[in-house]
Structure 1
C-alpha cells in the first residue's frame, strides 16, 4: 500500500523565530526572492499549515504584483509604493518570510504621517493571466 501524505493542520498563527513576529491569516508579508538582486515579494497570507510534527510550516499566499511585474509594466501614474492584489495564489515555506508589512488602501496611505519601508498601497486587483485590472480606471487627484 502506498504511503499517503502526512496530515496537515491549519494554524491560527505562527511565530517566525528569525524576525520574532507572529503572523496570521490576513497579514501581509515580505518574502525573500530567489534572486537577491530583486526586491522582496509582497504577499497576503491566506492560510498557515503545519505537518503533524509542526516542523514544516507552509503559508498559502495571495501575491501582490509590483507595476513592473505586470503586463504593460510601470506607468507614469503608478506610485513608487504601489502594488496590485493578484489572482495568483501559491504555497511557500514560512521560512521565506523576511518581514511583516502593511498594504493600505490608497486613501489611508495618503493620510500617513510617514511612509516606512514596510508600507505599500493597493488600488487595483490584477488578473495575472490576462493583465486586466479591476477597476480598469482610477480617478486622478486634482491638485
Structure 2
C-alpha cells in the first residue's frame, strides 16, 4: 500500500451546521455538496475532507446487510483526533481563530506559545465537535514539490 491519504471523512451530526461553519463562515468552496448527505472540500492537492451525515455514515459502515450483521456501528463523536491548519505567523493564528469563532466555532485553547517545538497555536472546536489546531510552527514547511519538511 502506498503511503498516502486521499479522503478524511468525518461523521457529522449536523450537516447544516457544518455547511454554515465551513462554507458560509470560513468561505470554503465545496467540491461537492449533497444536502442531507455529505459535503466535500478539497483541502490540499489530492486531499478531500468529507463531512458525512452521521446517520448515513453509520449505514455506510454497517453495509446493506446490516440486519444480518448485527446492530449499526456506534455514532460516537470524534475523539482523540485533531485536524491542523498551519499558518505563516502568530498574528495569523489569532486572525484565523477569530474567523473560526465568528463562523460558529468554540475556542478550546486560546492562542499561545506551545510546549513543544517552538509552535504558537490554538485549538478551536467546530459545531460538530471536530477539533482544529491552528498553528505557526517555524520548524515546519511545505517545499516546492509539496513535501512536508520538518526541522
TM-score (norm 1): 0.21
Relative to its length, the structure with more helix (as a share) is 2
Q: 1 or 2, which has the higher strand percentage?
A: 1
Q: Calculate the TM-score normalised by the size of structure 2.
A: 0.21
